[in-house]
Structure 1
């Protein structure tokens, strides 16, 4: 960790509190934009069609300083602390000069009485729930039928005006009640069409506009990859929408026929051209360790990583059951051969998530130029399994959580008391989720983690249960209640619970960051050093001996370690350290003696025997002379990411480009460096919708169907990788609903509090 601290110059923050405030304001702005986008699609408040979130920046620092709302109709700007109140005061109360001429929500339109004596207005009772209010306010009210406009809303006068407009008739009752008004309007419309067949045309689009719109629609369906079902294209409401905007109806068969074939060939041709343009590439393979416990089916994704930082999807492989090592080896080599033919040396390595497989090691031993790595995201997740299996504290906490949850959930008196205090403290009730102990025996800690979170989120309600009269009554009848009561009162129980939860969250957060950031191989040593530091702090906080936990971390580190970690760390100019003489030198002092030997062994393996002594001499020169300070500083230059607020390398490709354009005297070492520096340390990539290919896995004998799904996955993955969008639609929806809380409370408490800054 010292290496990363000393080697990378950064922009000095003048005030850390300003940075935290700016980050909170940025999050609030993004949350408001998300809510507005949902509302525009008909899933939120009506007023978002007139209001737009604005992010105001500080002129001196460039950091966000406030979030505002701008009215589309009059360009007025307001505070964004309460959008609902702004809408009520500015729009509904007539403050906005242009709102009266705009389309209003149905809730803001008062029913009008019919002209003339005896006119009757049918007014429904207002809905009692906010859900109904949102539905009614999502679109303006349809105009009444022309006959009702003339005679009011009275069914009798409407019928009289339609059938015998020149005569006055006595009041009649429509046999169908109020619902007959819709049929009456349809009848009048039919009569008008017969009397005036030449009606004004609706929306008319040119053929090029129609073709372009259908192409965009097809791309959206393809890139959703199962999230949008093909059958939904035939939904009546969707058909009505197409008609409303002037488009012809579309059919699923049109989208999975020649149109899909053409799109696939276009994307495949572009992808292959990019691969041919690159001098070499890395193969990434994920999905070998992913398992569906119901069907034991897997979708293995194979991706190509290029030196310029882009990734291209190659193929998907459907597998059932346990996969032997030699099968994985065959799939990987077959894919590599299919990409580069006889020029297999263009593939300089593989990163995959199958640690126990011998495939990676065998391929590396057979091809000396290859560097085959284990996925670091999977490595950190496997560390949690190690804790579950060998750290006794995890078993103790799991057993206590199961015992507590069963007692609360299955005793009706305790459950009722628990719900009473939940409602009092949190405003809603829930059961404590509980899972059988066999989940823990399978070293699957995720269910236990869920139980721990449930228990910690209910701590106040559980403590109040002990003071309730119902618990005292149960304690007189059930000795188990006494034991549970003592456990809830025990400070050590809660300390252990928080300790296990904190350790798992620590590792999960780092794994999530690895999945998001997708670090390169040179960063692996720093990641594990960061983990050691955080775990040491965790041990100190919860007064836990470091020995046992450090032993588990070191064992997992050795399982994942590859000499390329150390070699890339030494050769990447990003990690050079400035010494007292002003030189920027590689950080050999942060390697162990064994890791220094690994650097020599790996570099000599990656060159021919004739170059071995030459590359070692160049390595010694690199160790003593390093890089010109100006170029080193240019490589290590950072800037603040405007979205996340984190410091980022300005040009991640600089490390490789320096070796190719400036350090030309290192001919042999330079060829090794440019191949090592760009290697990815994770294989996390495109996430496919399970619902679509699950059916294909169970009906794999339909070759045509499988071929269509393969093409669909290829097109969707290509688009997502192009946009660097690695999340699924389900993840995005879950994130949205995490921030959305009803119509007005659009962000969580932390963000709402920050809006007042």
Structure 2
């Protein structure tokens, strides 16, 4: 295929990023380093102090930008230097308000004691964004003793945190029973009570025994009573709860009953109207339905959730209510909306995803749900049905399901369905339907096609075999030799702050790459590459020398892990990341079939650049690439590329003409054949004459520039088509002289090149395993899918949670390394 040009210079074109540079080669990072024993104690200490200081500065910088704790606006990390050597010896925190200096071991506690307690003379508590709880009778504490703001209490316990725990007793401060207000039993004790706050009413100290000697006459109680005599203004009545602190809940209920009996006519608060209650429960039910499979029906009957609804003034909602008439009504509404939108469209495309078995990355379970949806010309999609499969699916079954769906929608007007895009069965089911119905254009999903390139390269490139075998040797050696494993984990912890064994694919002990999927192999490659520094330190360690003297494998691995090993490892990793990145973009952007030729050409160029960078035989790589391209190619790619005004090229005369020069001779013939197949025999010669006119005259320059107009996406920053529907609309409203060709153009241009559907939660498929539950599951799937399509949300909540916790974990690693590095204290 000839090279595909970029957009015209007179139009706002996409800023194509250069070929993604591969990650810095691991070998450049593997420069000889001194062993830990070669560093002096002072050098190690300085390194640790600097590392801690930089970490604290990073955390404070993020916090000042609104991504961290409030107190960093008032606390600043500083380096304390040794007056004799001038080298940093410790990290401290300085209060920006009063210049006081504190230890950096626990910034949160420093903020609580110095700022929240009021010991900082210049701190205004009202300006602090954090909560400032006040003891209101249920929990109160004696004011903290005066303390020097330059020296913190070293006891480590919370002062004034609501109760004091000794070895033999626990002391609570509660109001006398007739004055307790039940809602106030929930008290935020995140920060100690300030000394200038006085309880709203007198309180009684409740002492709960925790063993022998902890009652009213214990020494601790005697001391407390003596202390009260010294402070008569704080005298309190002593009450003993024999059940311990667990009695506080029962005490609250008792007081609640007393209060209700004393004031039977008092209103508990604003009462919701019936309309408000119905609206609230409807929103709750829709939330459960739209989070299909993620929120279990049984969880709504959890006591705490019921209590939550009760606090809001809402009645409980049962599983039977959710799965009954309410579900049926919501399903009918969603179904009616979908039917209306399909009925408004003149034609559509069927999309099916899920025929190719997928394993959930979160649960590891095989997903057996096929999504069948309808792509409309206006760029939107409508869910049609979900099909549960019991395992392996035969091509004939898939063909029957797709044809039944088309007949169910179209009735007698079968030509309303332009074609099908599917993640499987291109060579059988899709081809059979296309041969039987000449107006159909059935294509395979390009997300799957690009991803399969990884599998092709892993099977046919010797480079992948070498890297896989070498990584297996390294991983098995490191994981199975106890001394080496211990050293590896130690150096991982030292270098990266975390430790884990190298992942090895199932059955990876032998048999080569042909017997395992490449995804787990790639995970192993990533582990080895990301642990390069730790592996180098292992080979410099004394334990490795001892093991290698007894085990010849160690010497072989040490000899193997030279520059070539790391270059090959980096090359494989770079190519896989390149293909995965392109596949991810395709999945996200959901291109039309007119974009297929430019996308594959862009990928070909990037892979050739990769060959040049890593000195790989380009001819061998091209053969593998061309083989996969031909298996995915459809003549409609070339026809849509020619007919889509977005790809018109401005010539010397100023005309905007279709890019025929970018096609091969075979692809030009494909365009003619496809157009004649999609029109009636009587119109075939007319359509070809109009095609020649389109080739020589093209489109008016103003309309062409309007179609090719781009704008920057505010989220990604990339340039995108301003109005994706304009290509089709130009044919429908302006190019009316092309009577036959425009019929083909409008039906081709809108076709989707991917079938990437929804990512369901793993629990959903388990619901449908019961014959009795499959009807309910189908309705839930329809409601959830309908909602996702309206929001254009194709993500999976479990995957989003996994990504969130992965990011949070990496951020916590930085914080933990900064906060709890005791060696800098």
Taking structure 2 as the reference length, the TM-score comes to: 0.74
Task: Give the secondary structure class of the aligned counterpart of 1:272.
Answer: helix
Assess, with a 3 A threshold, how the Cα gap between structure 1 residues 748 and 260 changes in structure 2: closer, same or farther: farther
Q: Is the 8 A contact 1:574 1:655 kept in 2?
A: yes
Q: Does 1:365 align with 2:417?
A: no
Assess, with a 3 A threshold, how the Cα gap between structure 1 residues 7 and 604 changes in structure 2: closer, same or farther: farther
CA distance in 1, matches of 2:685, 2:321: 62
Counterpart mapping for 1:110-129 below 5 A? 112-113=141-142, 122-124=163-165
CA distance in 2, matches of 1:113, 1:548: 80
Counterpart mapping for 1:42-441 below 5 A? 98-99=126-127, 103-104=131-132, 112-113=141-142, 122-124=163-165, 140-141=188-189, 150-155=202-207, 174-292=241-359, 298-355=368-425, 357-435=427-505, 436-437=507-508, 440-441=513-514
Structure 1 range deviating more: 175-184 or 665-674: 175-184
Larger Rg: 2
CA distance in 1, matches of 2:579, 2:629: 14
Q: Which residue of 2 aligns with 1:70?
A: none
Per-residue CA deviation, residues 243-291 of structure 1 (Å, 9 max, x unaligned), is: 1222111112111111111111111111111111110000001111124
Once the two structures are TM-superposed, the CA of residue 324 in structure 1 deviates from its matched residue by 1.6
Give the root-mean-square deviation of aligned CA atoms. 3.8
Q: Does 1:480 align with 2:553?
A: yes
Query: Is the helix fraction higher in 1 or 2?
Result: 1
Find 1:496's aligned residue among 568, 573, 581: 568
Find 1:4's aligned residue among 3, 6, 26: 6
Once the two structures are TM-superposed, the CA of residue 114 in structure 1 deviates from its matched residue by 8.9
Once the two structures are TM-superposed, the CA of residue 309 in structure 1 deviates from its matched residue by 0.1
Once the two structures are TM-superposed, the CA of residue 85 in structure 1 deviates from its matched residue by 13
Structure 1 range deviating more: 539-548 or 192-201: 192-201
Once the two structures are TM-superposed, the CA of residue 184 in structure 1 deviates from its matched residue by 3.4
CA distance in 1, matches of 2:685, 2:479: 71
CA distance in 2, matches of 1:621, 1:85: 78
CA distance in 2, matches of 1:638, 1:424: 49
Q: Which residue of 2 aligns with 1:644?
A: 716
Assess, with a 3 A threshold, how the Cα gap between structure 1 residues 206 and 491 changes in structure 2: closer, same or farther: same
Find 1:446's aligned residue among 506, 511, 519: 519
Q: Which runs of 5+ in 1 are unaligned?
A: 17-27, 49-82, 126-137, 160-167, 750-757
Assess, with a 3 A threshold, how the Cα gap between structure 1 residues 519 and 742 changes in structure 2: closer, same or farther: closer
CA distance in 1, matches of 2:372, 2:450: 21
Q: Is the 8 A contact 2:139 2:187 kept in 1?
A: no
Per-residue CA deviation, residues 687-735 of structure 1 (Å, 9 max, x unaligned), is: 22221222423x3x32xx1111101001101111111111110222233
Assess, with a 3 A threshold, how the Cα gap between structure 1 residues 533 and 85 changes in structure 2: closer, same or farther: farther
Q: Is the 8 A contact 2:139 2:162 kept in 1?
A: no
Once the two structures are TM-superposed, the CA of residue 515 in structure 1 deviates from its matched residue by 0.3
Structure 1 range deviating more: 508-517 or 740-749: 740-749
Structure 1 range deviating more: 739-748 or 674-683: 739-748
Find 2:778's aligned residue among 710, 718, 728: 710
CA distance in 2, matches of 1:748, 1:652: 48
Find 1:736's aligned residue among 799, 804, 823: 804
Equivalent pairs, count: 664
Once the two structures are TM-superposed, the CA of residue 186 in structure 1 deviates from its matched residue by 3.5
Task: Give the secondary structure class of the aligned counterpart of 2:386.
Answer: strand
Per-residue CA deviation, residues 228-248 of structure 1 (Å, 9 max, x unaligned), is: 111111122221211122211
CA distance in 1, matches of 2:803, 2:629: 32
